[in-house]
């Protein structure tokens, strides 16, 4: 069996949450004898095809971008050529150009869409795009939501509930190289006490401006890993507030990120808007057995982080609630250790790359055999309880 994944970006240009998910699905499916190709856009592709971790990353030239959407004239020809060789086409939503390519290509192949997120920010353009979006979603064979919570709260997904199933995103531990003793020692010397960690692109919906306001109400250090469009504004805000406990360290290698994940006290992820559909960084934190602090935004973040079980979930945009949660995790060390242990167990039972890829293989096999959508053997939650306090 051969699968064609289609998304606007992929390695080596970018390797964010969706890209890592595609990579994990392709790698895991290979264990079942399934071959994968990934087609994406590149502003300046040196080669049209590059081998990456046992599968091929194909590139079409990116002509221009508008409202975070990449457009390409030559991608249609590339798509049709690769689709002709595929048994199943696997789309990753949202990307309006993808919808158009699908509708004008008429490949006749079975199609599945992983629905990563609603379109939240571009409300005016969404009204223009909505007819195309519904034509696309109506025409595909299967839709996969990344969490039960997102399926329940997405008005778009509710419209297609009869052909939608849920497969949580997952990560492969083998993709995370262990940190060296020297790397861990470097970060310990810089942050000798306990510290909280954030990892992600510095975007408008990450809620980091709320975290900075909350930092005036706690003493713990917070290390912020990543860069992005909000970086300058956030650094200016930290300077204006006179914050000494907020540390911007920029984008780091995976090995250095692993060192910080191993050394941190807990993981804070204050995303405050529905644009944060899942939060793959939370899976990384759970993988390393770290308690998590998140905000309730009605998406997959509260599926990954279970309130009072794997960490704390607070009201979005509530500065005091976020500060209180950080102070509690820093103060209640035995409780935090229980949270972290529960997070690790939850990762093992729900969010490993093997679990995710196995579920997608079931979907692929079912589609090829002509079966109807069905619920998969993926646990929706892990029943956990904390020991009673003395």
Q: 2-172+352-368 and 174-349 share one CATH topology?
A: yes
Q: Is residue 200 left, alpha or beta, with left meaning phi > 0 and alpha meaning psi from -120 to 50?
A: left
The pLDDT value given to residue 197:
98
Q: Which CATH architecture has domain 2-172+352-368?
A: 3-Layer(aba) Sandwich (3.40)
The pLDDT value given to residue 373:
62
The pLDDT value given to residue 75:
97
Find the length of the chain. Answer: 390
Stated pTM of the model:
0.88
Q: Report whether 232 contacts 258 (CB < 8 A).
A: no
Q: Would strands 49-52 and 55-61 be described as parallel, antiparallel, or unpaired?
A: antiparallel
CATH number of 174-349: 3.40.50.2000
β-bridge partners, 2 = 35
Report which of 196, 223, 207, 221 is spatially closest to residue 336, judged by C-alpha positions: 196
* Alpha-carbon span 343 to 289, nearest angstrom: 6
Q: How many helices (H) and strands (E) does the chain have?
A: 15, 16
The pLDDT value given to residue 371:
67
Angle at which helices 254-263 and 181-190 pack, to 10 degrees? 60
* Alpha-carbon span 10 to 332, nearest angstrom: 41
How far apart are the two ends of the chain, measured CA to CA in Å? 56
The pLDDT value given to residue 387:
36
Give Cα 371 distance to the centre of its chain: 29
Question: What mean pLDDT value characterizes the chain?
Answer: 92
* Alpha-carbon span 68 to 268, nearest angstrom: 26
Q: Residue 254: phi, psi to the nearest 5?
A: -60, -35
Exposure b/e, 337-373, CB count within 10 A at least 16 = b: ebbbebbbebbeebbbbebbbbbbbbbbebbeeeeeb
Which tokens hold the place of 18?
A: 């969706």
**107 by DSSP, 3-state: which?**
coil
The pLDDT value given to residue 372:
63
Q: Which residue has the tokens 């409202």?
A: 67
Task: Say how many C-beta atoms besides its own lie within 10 A of residue 221's C-beta.
Answer: 21
Per-residue pLDDT of the chain (390 residues), as tens digits, is: 999 999 999 999 888 889 989 999 999 999 999 999 999 999 988 778 999 999 999 999 999 998 878 999 999 999 999 999 999 999 999 999 999 999 999 899 999 999 999 988 777 777 889 999 999 999 999 999 999 999 999 999 999 999 999 999 999 898 888 899 999 999 999 999 999 999 999 999 999 999 999 999 999 999 999 999 999 999 999 999 999 999 999 999 989 999 999 999 999 999 999 999 999 999 999 999 999 999 999 999 999 999 999 999 999 999 999 999 999 999 999 999 999 999 999 999 999 999 999 999 999 999 998 766 655 544 444 333 333 333
DSSP per residue, 297-333 = -SSTHHHHS-BTTTEEEEETT-HHHHHHHHHHHHH-H
Q: Report whether 220 contacts 265 (CB < 8 A).
A: yes
* Alpha-carbon span 304 to 308, nearest angstrom: 12
Residue 21 CB contacts under 8 Å (≥ 6 apart), including other chains: 92, 114, 116, 169, 170, 280, 356
Q: Where are the domains of the chain?
A: 2-172+352-368, 174-349
Strand ranges (DSSP E) for 24-87?
A: 35-42, 49-52, 55-61, 64-66, 69-71
* Alpha-carbon span 212 to 389, nearest angstrom: 32
């Amino acid at each position: 069996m051969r699968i064609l994944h289609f998304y606007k970006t992929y390695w080596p240009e970018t390797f964010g949450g969706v890209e890592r998910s595609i990579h994990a699905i392709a790698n895991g499916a290979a264990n079942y004898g399934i071959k994968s190709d990934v087609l994406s856009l590149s502003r300046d592709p040196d080669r049209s095809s590059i081998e990456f971790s046992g599968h091929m990353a194909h590139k079409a030239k990116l002509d221009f971008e508008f409202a975070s959407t990449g457009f390409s004239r030559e991608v249609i020809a590339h798509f049709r050529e690769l689709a002709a060789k595929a048994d199943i086409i696997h789309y990753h939503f949202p990307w309006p150009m993808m919808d158009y390519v699908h509708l004008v290509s008429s490949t006749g192949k079975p199609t599945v869409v992983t629905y990563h997120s609603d379109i939240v920010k571009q409300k005016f353009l969404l009204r223009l795009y909505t007819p195309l979006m519904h034509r696309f979603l109506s025409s595909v064979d299967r839709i996969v939501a990344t969490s039960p919570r997102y399926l329940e709260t997405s008005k778009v997904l509710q419209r297609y509930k009869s052909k939608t199933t849920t497969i949580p995103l997952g990560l492969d531990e083998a993709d995370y190289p262990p940190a060296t003793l020297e790397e861990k020692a470097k970060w310990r010397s810089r942050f000798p006490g306990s510290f909280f960690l954030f990892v992600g692109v510095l975007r408008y919906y990450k809620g980091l401006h709320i975290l900075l306001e909350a930092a005036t109400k706690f003493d713990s250090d917070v290390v912020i890993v990543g860069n992005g469009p909000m970086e300058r504004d956030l650094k200016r805000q930290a300077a204006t507030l006179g914050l000494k406990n907020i540390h911007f360290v920029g984008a780091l290698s995976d090995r250095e990120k692993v060192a910080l994940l191993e050394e941190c006290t807990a993981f804070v992820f204050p995303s405050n808007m529905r644009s944060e559909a899942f939060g793959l960084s939370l899976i990384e934190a759970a993988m390393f057995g770290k308690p998590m602090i998140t905000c309730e935004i009605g998406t997959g973040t509260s599926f990954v982080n279970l309130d009072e079980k794997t960490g704390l979930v607070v009201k979005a945009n509530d500065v005091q609630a976020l500060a209180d949660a950080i102070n509690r995790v820093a103060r209640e060390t035995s409780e935090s250790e229980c949270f972290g242990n529960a997070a690790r167990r939850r990762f093992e039972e729900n969010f490993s790359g093997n679990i995710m890829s196995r579920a997608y293989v079931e979907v692929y096999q079912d589609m090829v055999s002509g079966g109807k959508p069905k619920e998969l053997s993926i646990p929706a939650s892990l029943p956990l309880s904390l020991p009673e306090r003395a």
